[in-house]
Structure 1
Amino acid sequence: MNHPNRPRRLRTDGIRPLVSETTLDASDLIAPVFIDATTDERVPIETMPGHERVPVEQAVERVQEIRETGVEAIIVFGVPESKDSEGSRAWADDGVVQKAVRRITAETDAYVITDVCMCEYADHGHCGLLEDDARQDPVLTVRNDETLDALARTAVSHAAAGADMVAPSAMMDGMVGAIREGLDDAGHTEVPIMSYAAKYESAFYGPFRDAADGAPAFGDRRHYQMDPANAREAMREVTLDVEEGADVLMVKPALPYLDIVRDVRERFDQPVAAYNVSGEYAMLHAASEQGWLDLEATAYESLLSIKRAGADLILTYFAEDVAGAL
């Protein structure tokens, strides 16, 4: 039987790479780094095999390990030496992130992004300042506008320490505008903002909360992170961040929200980032340990799908392994 259209003609080894529609490069990836001010040695993260918290003194060494794989960008998360109700160590000049960033930028050529949020620094584990009665209130209330000031102070302190980019992840209304104003007023007009523009209240974050010691002490985050059922709302959130000056637009998580990644890519001109989160990483590792999946192949395919959906940048715990294989 004659078949004038035979797609298989373009699937032979010689032509297949030439007609591949999507490419994944090490330069597309951002590697998370966890800096822990409470330890003087590396501490394995049990729920995220292959990852560790490292002390400030080893921050440069850790980043150099990442750079050797070809990954150019990192994002720094901090575990402070102490916490309080205001999360004041988040913007301290001698805070864990600030000290690590100074060392990393002085001694490596990595592109340094910092996470801007309160959850790792506040003793209640939430992403903003709470109402006084929040611990007894079944409907948790975060003081949105007061939190904006704290986020701006934190971003400015990161920029002053040498951060190349700041990434606010608190999902507070107006956070991008407040941070942009704070950065500009402090003379950091060149520092871009990668906003967690569509961040969902997801069940896939569990291992990260162990890694960064940022789990809520009570309540949950459904009153400021997005409902997983909502797609149109994500477009409203992203639009607001664009209007406030976001330079890069982040969708988190990635794999369960590829439709959102695609929608953001099609509707906005800014670069799109996607966060391949800790739960997505952990479940592939768990399946691999059982012999059910090939870890390297499924990790690569997962990241390729995120890129194919429209992400320009992918923040992933697989960054080093996949970059090395590439």
Structure 2
Amino acid sequence: MIRYIAPAATLAIALLAGALFGGTLLINEIACETAGDDWVELYYYDEEETSIDIAPFFVTMYYGTNERLASEPITLYSRNRPETPFDDRFAVVRLIRPGMADETDLTGDTNGNGMLDVYCNNYFSSLWNTDCVVSVDTDDEPINGGIIDFVAYSNRDGSLNSTIGSYTGSAIGFGQWESLAGDDGQACMVDIGLGGLKAHQSIARSGPSDSNTLADFVVTSVQTPGRENVFSGGFAGSRRLFRALKKTSVLDADHGAGIPSSIDVFVYEPCNLRFRVFSLLGRLIYESPLYLDIFPGPFSMPWDVRGAGRRASTGLHVGLIEATAPRLKRSDSERICSIPVRGR
């Protein structure tokens, strides 16, 4: 088990990583075309119950100036512990969000978004959506032998960026990535398509095994920061835009602080969403805002069942979730049952 390790010891971590912790710290997901907030998800895997402090490491593409993850311990665990409201195996590194307080062992999930967020002041252009690498390293140099995990990806345009090629060569030299026979430099890199990733897409690890090759990763249309990866191939060909995660939702109508209950859906295609609630007599009880451009993945629509100065009555209500996808020229809807109760 690793506790906090002083920065001066980080090179020793790389040289003796196998002796210091039995598990594997992996790059699990990469989002490189988000609106000003590119992120990398880290995942700690071990069949035994162990943990690791990731604070001393860098998550970096090496180019420009990048910084260590944190000054205070951030511990990932090989098991998702029931006492925390987030999955302890994952941390989400926000690469260009300076000036924000990291979520550490001391603070926990301060923003309540169900994940551990780590904020970095890295290279201002963040990750490239063409040729690029992402590395977990003990420092910000690819040539010092401190690489813990590494991913190279490319749009395969036939013109490899020479700087990215040199970083990939360093990783290959240290056994952290593998080249292919007859490779032009891009063939060994994860293929993100000639146009690069779309805003709702990510590069996701397909499992906990690590062959140090492009075979470990796929491009998915479902971003799941802080959670296990979901792959769009699992619902390829579906005409659905979304599905409700529960056909019947029992909601707390008595929370005095006005904390909203939520209607949870899983979105398959980028779309707009709205949620309405009706009494059994057809009277409109609640209408949500129109949620625009929702990316694939889990999504929650809050409903404060107290209403605007008036509580919803208890008992059965009919909920209608509606979605439109103008780009696909498709719409979708689903009815659910909502039951506000008191005295829970």
**TM bucket normalised to smaller:** under 0.3
TM-score, length-scaled by structure 1: 0.26
- Relative to the length of structure 2, the TM-score reads 0.25
Instruction: Choose between structure 1 and 2: higher strand proportion.
Output: 2
Q: Which has the higher contact order (CA 8 A, sep 6+)?
A: 1
